[in-house]
């Protein structure tokens, strides 16, 4: 079975590919394999809507089953912002540093539980022939720090501010084992994989 992991983020592609590696008879493709550079308009009001739009968009182009996800940071103190606009909160051209500094400025008066936050993701599997559509969603609970961590992961600015409640550590300072314990994308993917395996 052919399946496309629909993301332009190489780190995310490798993570999802690793999560699928025990599914037999699966031929995994990237957007790069199809020389696809375009992206759908992510104008959904929920992560689920955007994950669906991406999965369907790329599946219709490639004619193969597709996995896509959408996720971001939810800060209740900011009425759920940045939410579905996490990457484009300040526009797609905004740098990691600009997003980090903007978040800290917005929370400059927030203390204690006012800094509560969630990293959330929704992952979607879409098959163009049978119109099969499956979603799984997962959250990680934590707090926004008062300053960024020293270990920054490019293209993941909010992880530099997010302290995982379970370990009381910055997300991007978790050990490999700790990261696997709270990795919301992989948790959602593993539940999704059970359903995909039955489909296969």
On the CB side of 137, CA atoms within 13 Å amount to 14
Which residue's structure tokens are 């995982």? 164
Residues 165/110, Cβ–Cβ less than 8 Å: no
Task: Please tell me what DSSP assigns to residue 82.
Answer: B
Question: Dihedrals φ, ψ of 5, to 5°?
Answer: -95, 105
Distance separating the N- and C-terminal Cα atoms of the chain: 7
Angle between the 10-19 and 184-199 helix axes, to the nearest 10 degrees?
50
Instruction: Enter the DSSP assignment of 50.
Output: H
Residues with catalytic function: 70
Backbone angles phi, psi at 27, to 5 degrees: -105, 115
């Amino acid at each position: 079975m052919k399946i496309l992991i629909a993301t332009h983020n190489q780190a995310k592609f490798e993570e999802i590919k690793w999560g699928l590696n025990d599914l037999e008879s699966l031929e995994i493709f990237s957007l790069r394999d199809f020389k696809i550079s375009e992206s759908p308009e992510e104008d959904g009001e929920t992560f689920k809507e955007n994950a669906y739009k991406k999965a369907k968009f790329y599946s219709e182009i490639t004619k193969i089953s597709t996995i896509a996800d959408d996720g971001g940071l939810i800060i209740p103190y900011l009425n759920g912002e940045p939410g579905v606009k996490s990457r484009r909160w300040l526009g797609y051209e905004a740098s990691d540093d600009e997003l980090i500094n903007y978040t800290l400025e917005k929370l400059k008066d927030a203390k204690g539980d006012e800094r509560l936050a969630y990293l959330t993701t929704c992952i979607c599997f879409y098959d163009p022939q049978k119109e099969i559509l499956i979603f799984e969603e997962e959250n990680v609970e934590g707090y926004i720090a008062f300053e960024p961590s020293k270990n920054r992961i490019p293209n993941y600015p909010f992880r530099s501010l997010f302290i995982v409640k379970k370990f009381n550590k910055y997300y991007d300072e978790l050990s490999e084992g700790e990261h696997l314990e709270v990795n919301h994308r992989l948790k959602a993917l593993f539940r999704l994989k059970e359903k995909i395996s039955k489909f296969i």
